[in-house]
């Protein structure tokens, strides 16, 4: 899922986004409840009409950003009181208000409101938080009428196998339409993330979508699918695009580098995106070093296409029972140096 | 002509630009000779391939930016020595080198190298400059082989009717493919600009394209056409788009204004551009106030379309002998307040 934080996948018009053919995108509840506010979105006919997007939208619960962005907050059993990181205004999110906001925005998939423990919390803190997250999950299910949107639960538990297992049992016992692995990519090492993901994913029900939140690199997506993950979201393709860091079938291209100044070839000769079909690395570097807005657009088109095309390739490979070969081929062509 | 300063019409990919259907765009020689440099553009196959644009490109001569942007310069009969406003590097432009650079870039229409007197010069200074510009015009024609690109001459003379008349006689006597009115929109009042344009345009040969440089508002375009102008270039649609100032059939919309926060209607109900067809004023305001890159893109699509659509309307009206009525209708619907 490309991330459309403020009802806009950064740098793209909705028409450009459609041309990249994602099945679903993600909106951030925290950002949208502050700007432009759920009342406005509801009055204007919901998020689909607001951002002119007629395919599926998943919203997060707001929890992650409350815990990572909001400056002041009180976490109570009832919910979380916090101040906007923009203007300091006071807001409140709970399982009930989060589900309500997501329903009113008119998304297709809502996420249950959870507490996402930051990396570094003790096992005791994580366990205590986890128990509240489970109580909140029950309240989310209760608040969610049978009507749309679908509602996904979130498994927490830090890097602790036993807590993750307990969380899966709790969350899987509730009436959710899908289950997400939360609390990863929050500062832990890559090995800890992969270990948590590989341990937790097979425990999830096979008959519900499995969603790994906030992950990750192309390699991470392949690892996740290998473990049984169905869905991902990550700002990496759009954010890296703005920084001129471009994913290709042969590894990362840092487009500002002088080696591309005179390079008349396409960014990725094997990519069929608009950027690779129409302009050269030299032109992309020229736009980037001169801070042209079109640089963000061309780079984002490529990176988002690269991610979506990787997932299309993975789905085809699974359908033709050749995922392992597909993954090996992809990884063999990436340089072994850091691809973060 | 939309302006593509650095081989990019700001905020748009070439595909988006094509969808707006301009017949021709303008590139800035000064900017491109500094970044990425004419050697690089030539090596990569010329500007059309560089920016993936297969329609016509007109380049200015570099003169205007040398006189307005370059920090240090020596103006001699031979040409102008100047330092780049970016890195202070030393460069030289003359009638011969300017034509050479434009030919090597591979543009379709090149402009003769002229001196553009800033507003405020005395009549004596303007007259002296004008005589050099006329000598430079002869050298431009001599330097320009019969091969492409076409070469346009530039009429100067400040706001002085007799100097403009003399300049038209000089420039029209030379073997140019079209003639431009330069030295307008350089700080003079709107009345002075219109007076100069209205006086000069009818003096120009009827059988060659007449190009009014650096103008202007939609109203200016209608005034120019009424006086006999065929071509215009201006950064106004793209620059105003980035500032959230949007042209519509009912006047200017400053999209950040709170009155649009809750406005679910299209930016201009009579406009058929992508922006007006797909998103609301409320969404455009939301993108603008949150500094989303898509704001620049949507706004630029609309403003450039508005200008191009105005010119399409003008051409159709001329063909059907109804230009006066077309102009009156357009102006009657614009508010009488400042539309600059």
Bridge-based pairing of strands A90-93 and B150-155 is unpaired
Annotated catalytic residue A291? no
A215-253 in b/e form (b: 16+ CB < 10 A) is: bbbbbbbbbbbebbbebbbbbbbbebbbebbbbbbeebb
User: What is the DSSP annotation of A55-85?
Assistant: SEEEE--SHHHHHHT-SSEEE-SS-EEEE-T
Give the per-residue pLDDT at B72: 67
Between chains, do B293 and A297 touch, taking CB under 8 Å as contact? yes
Q: List, edge to edge, every strand of the sheet that includes B109-111.
A: B24-27, B56-59, B109-111, B150-155, B178-181, B210-212, B231-232
Beta-carbon-side half-sphere exposure of residue B305 (alpha carbons within 13 Å): 24
Question: Contact, B170 vs B145, CB < 8 A?
Answer: no
Beta-carbon contacts of B49 under 8 Å, excluding residues fewer than 6 positions away, are none
Task: Give residue for tokens 């049984």.
Answer: A228
Q: List, edge to edge, every strand of the sheet that includes B73-75.
A: B73-75, B80-83, B90-93
Check CB contact of A141 with chain B, cutoff 8 Å. Answer: no
Nearest CA in chain B to A285: B36
Nearest CA in chain A to B17: A294
Question: Contact, B231 vs B209, CB < 8 A?
Answer: yes
Nearest CA in chain B to A46: B264
Nearest CA among A232, A272, A225, A230 for reference residue A248: A272
User: What is d(CA B175, CA B153) in angstroms, rounded to the nearest whole number?
Assistant: 9
Cis peptide upstream of residue B36 (ω within 30 degrees of 0): yes
- Burial of residue B274 (number of CB atoms within 10 Å: 0-12, 13-18, 19+): buried
Give the per-residue pLDDT at A69: 85
Give the per-residue pLDDT at B337: 56
Using CA atoms of A169, A175, A178, A184 in order, give the dihedral in degrees to the nearest 10. Answer: -40
A contacts of B14 (beta carbons < 8 Å): 278-279
Smallest Cβ distance to B52: which of A6, A36, A279?
A279
Between chains, do A15 and B286 touch, taking CB under 8 Å as contact? no
> If you count them, how many residues does chain B have?
340
B contacts of A37 (beta carbons < 8 Å): none
E-strand stretches of chain A: 24-27, 56-59, 73-75, 80-83, 90-93, 109-111, 150-155, 178-181, 210-212, 231-232, 245-246, 253-254
Residue B182 in this model has a pLDDT that exceeds 60:
yes
* Minimal CA separation from B11 to chain A, in Å: 5
pLDDT, mean of residues B28-41:
97
Between chains, do A52 and B278 touch, taking CB under 8 Å as contact? yes
Check CB contact of B294 with chain A, cutoff 8 Å. Answer: yes
Residues of chain A with pLDDT under 50: 339-340
Task: Give residue for tokens 């909106």.
Answer: A27
* Minimal CA separation from A323 to chain B, in Å: 35
Give the per-residue pLDDT at B340: 42
Q: What percent of chain B has pLDDT over 90?
A: 94
Q: Which band of pLDDT confidence, cut at 50, 70 and 90, is reported for residue B87?
A: very high
Beta-carbon contacts of B338 under 8 Å, excluding residues fewer than 6 positions away, are none
Q: List, edge to edge, every strand of the sheet that includes A109-111.
A: A24-27, A56-59, A109-111, A150-155, A178-181, A210-212, A231-232
Between chains, do B286 and A36 touch, taking CB under 8 Å as contact? yes
Task: Give residue for tokens 């997060």.
Answer: A60
Nearest CA in chain B to A48: B279
Give the per-residue pLDDT at B147: 74
* Minimal CA separation from B264 to chain A, in Å: 6
Question: Contact, A181 vs A213, CB < 8 A?
Answer: yes
Check CB contact of A37 with chain B, cutoff 8 Å. Answer: no
Between chains, do B264 and A44 touch, taking CB under 8 Å as contact? yes
User: Can you give the C-alpha Rg of chain B in angstroms?
Assistant: 20
Give the per-residue pLDDT at A89: 93
Give the per-residue pLDDT at A8: 98
What angle, rounded to 10 degrees, do the helices at A293-319 and A218-227 form?
30
Q: pLDDT (tens digit, 9 = 90+) per residue, B103-148?
A: 999 999 999 999 999 999 999 999 999 999 999 999 999 999 877 7
Note the pTM of the prediction, 2 decimals: 0.96
Give the per-residue pLDDT at B146: 73
Beta-carbon contacts of B237 under 8 Å, excluding residues fewer than 6 positions away, are B2, B247, B300, B303, B304, B306, B307
Nearest CA among A8, A232, A7, A12 for reference residue A105: A7
A contacts of B286 (beta carbons < 8 Å): 6-7, 35-36, 50
User: What is d(CA A120, CA A196) in angstroms, rounded to the nearest whole number?
Assistant: 15
User: What is d(CA B26, CA B231) in angstroms, rounded to the nearest whole number?
Assistant: 11
Check CB contact of A334 with chain B, cutoff 8 Å. Answer: no
Q: pLDDT (tens digit, 9 = 90+) per residue, A155-193?
A: 999 999 999 999 999 999 999 999 999 999 999 999 999
* Minimal CA separation from A314 to chain B, in Å: 29
Bridge-based pairing of strands B80-83 and B73-75 is antiparallel
Check CB contact of B88 with chain A, cutoff 8 Å. Answer: no
Check CB contact of B288 with chain A, cutoff 8 Å. Answer: no
User: What is d(CA B82, CA B70) in angstroms, rounded to the nearest whole number?
Assistant: 6
A contacts of B11 (beta carbons < 8 Å): 293-294, 297
Give the per-residue pLDDT at A147: 74
Strand partners, A58: A26, A109
> How many other CB atoms are there within 10 angstroms of residue B57's CB atom?
25
B133-171 in b/e form (b: 16+ CB < 10 A) is: bbebbbbbbebbeeeebbbbbbbbbbbbeebbebbbebb
Nearest CA among A7, A20, A67 for reference residue A312: A20
Nearest CA among A80, A108, A84 for reference residue A96: A80
Smallest Cβ distance to A274: which of B15, B261, B297?
B15
Q: pLDDT (tens digit, 9 = 90+) per residue, B263-301?
A: 999 999 999 999 999 999 999 999 999 999 999 999 999
Q: pLDDT (tens digit, 9 = 90+) per residue, A53-68?
A: 999 999 999 999 998 8
Q: Is the ipTM of this complex over 0.90?
A: yes
User: What is d(CA B50, CA A264) in angstroms, rounded to the nearest whole number?
Assistant: 8
A162-178 in b/e form (b: 16+ CB < 10 A) is: ebbebbbebbeebebeb
Strand partners, B109: B58, B150
Between chains, do A8 and B296 touch, taking CB under 8 Å as contact? no
Give the per-residue pLDDT at A243: 98
Cα distances (Å, whole numbers) of residue A57 to A2, A40, A53, A164, B293 = 10, 18, 8, 27, 20
Q: Nearest 5 degrees, angle CA B284-CA B290-CA B292? A: 70
- Chain B interface, best mutation among A297, A299, A303, by max B CB count within 10 A: A297
Beta-carbon contacts of B213 under 8 Å, excluding residues fewer than 6 positions away, are B60, B64, B154, B180, B181, B182, B184, B185, B233
């Amino acid at each position: 899922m490309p991330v459309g934080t403020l009802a806009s996948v950064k740098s793209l018009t909705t028409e450009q986004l459609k041309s990249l053919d994602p099945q679903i995108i993600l909106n951030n509840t925290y950002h949208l409840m502050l700007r432009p506010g759920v009342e406005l979105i509801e009055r204007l006919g919901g998020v689909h009409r607001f951002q002119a997007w007629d395919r599926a939208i998943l919203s997060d619960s707001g929890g992650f950003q409350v815990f990572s962005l909001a400056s002041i907050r009180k976490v109570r059993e009832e919910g979380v009181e916090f101040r906007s990181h923009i203007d300091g205004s006071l807001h409140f999110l709970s399982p009930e208000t989060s589900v309500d906001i997501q329903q009113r925005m008119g998304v297709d998939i809502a996420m249950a409101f959870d507490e996402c423990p930051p990396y570094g919390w003790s096992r005791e803190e994580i366990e205590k938080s986890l128990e509240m997250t489970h109580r909140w999950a029950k309240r989310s299910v209760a608040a969610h009428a049978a009507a749309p949107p679908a509602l996904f639960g979130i498994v927490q538990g830090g890097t602790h196998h036993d807590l993750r297992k307990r969380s899966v049992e709790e969350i899987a016992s509730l009436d959710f339409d899908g289950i997400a692995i939360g609390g990863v990519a929050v500062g832990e090492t890559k090995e800890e993330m992969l270990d948590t993901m590989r341990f937790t994913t097979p425990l999830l029900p096979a008959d519900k979508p499995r969603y790994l939140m906030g992950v990750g690199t192309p390699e991470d997506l392949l690892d996740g699918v290998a473990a049984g993950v169905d869905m991902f979201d990550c700002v990496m393709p759009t954010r890296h695009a703005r920084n001129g860091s471009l994913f290709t079938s042969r590894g990362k291209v840092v487009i500002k580098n002088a080696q591309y100044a005179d390079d008349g070839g396409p960014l990725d000769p094997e990519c069929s995106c608009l950027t690779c079909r129409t302009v050269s690395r030299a032109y992309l570097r020229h736009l980037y070093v001169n801070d042209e807005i079109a640089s963000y657009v061309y780079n984002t088109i490529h990176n988002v296409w690269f991610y979506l095309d990787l997932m299309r390739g993975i789905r085809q490979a699974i359908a033709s029972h050749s995922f392992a070969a597909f993954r090996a081929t992809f990884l063999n062509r990436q340089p072994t140096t850091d691809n973060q």
